[in-house]
Structures are given as C-alpha cells and as structure tokens.
Structure 1
C-alpha cells in the first residue's frame, strides 16, 4: 500500500490497525535527556536539506541516523 493511500485511509477515519505490521513494534519507556551539540554550518545545511527532502525535522533526521548507526555498531559487536 502506498503511503498516500494509507494516509487517506487514516484521514477518512478508517481502521488502519489491521494494515500495520506490529510484530516488531516496541514500546519505549526510556527517559529522554536533552543534549546540546555544536555542528559546523556545512553540516547543518546538509542536515536541513536531507530533512526537508524526506519531510521531517532536523532533530528527527539526526535521531534516526544516530539510532541506525548505534544499531549497526551493536550488531557488529555481537556478530
């Protein structure tokens, strides 16, 4: 199913739960901590372009990329 079709189903008030694969869903109860990180301007510009391209915020793209990297490191160490 295309994302646009999924969005329309949701927007129309239809039940979309059956269309989701919840087998790998995780409930996170981790405590969030705020950190400040300084980035060079070129890096901020690149982050903003990529975030805009995929339609998310700068903070979201940073979190996703860091999570992916940490997950990969975790698998490498266990493998």
Structure 2
C-alpha cells in the first residue's frame, strides 16, 4: 500500500490497525521531573498553550525538543 493510500484511510477514519506491524512497537519510556517556575512564566506558558490548542505539557515538551535539536545541529 502506498503511503498516500494509508494516509487517506487514516484521514477518512478507517481502521488502519491491520496495516501496522506492531511486533516491534514499544512504548516510550518517560521520566518525571519537577520544575519550579515563576508565576509570570507559567502564565505565558498557559497563554501559548491556549493559543495553540495544546496542553502546557505538550508546549513544554515541544519547546525542549526543539532546543535539544538546535543544540545537536
């Protein structure tokens, strides 16, 4: 199956599980950290999360991932 056909099935809401090879699938491992931030930073993060329609956690994960990629370049 071509990627475009797969994408169309997914976009159309069809069940695509039969097309996936889950034998090698692994759950990502996570570590939890505590981070103390000043109120003004938390407010800015909340505003940006709302603007993008994401959770605060998703915003922070994206920002950290972007910064780590920049550091590797």
Report matched runs for 1:50-61 at 5 Å.
50-61=48-59
CA positional deviation for 1:31? 1.9
Name the structure 2 match of 1:49: 47
CA positional deviation for 1:13? 2.5
CA positional deviation for 1:50? 0.3
CA separation in 2, counterparts of 1:46 and 1:30? 28
Normalising by structure 2, what TM-score? Answer: 0.64
> For 1:44-68, what per-residue CA distance to the aligned partner results, in whole angstroms no more than 9, with x for missing partners?
0000000000000001000000000
Normalising by structure 1, what TM-score? Answer: 0.60
The structure number with the bigger radius of gyration is: 2
Give structure 1 stretches of 5+ with no counterpart.
Answer: 1-8, 16-26
What is the count of residue pairs matched by the alignment? 57
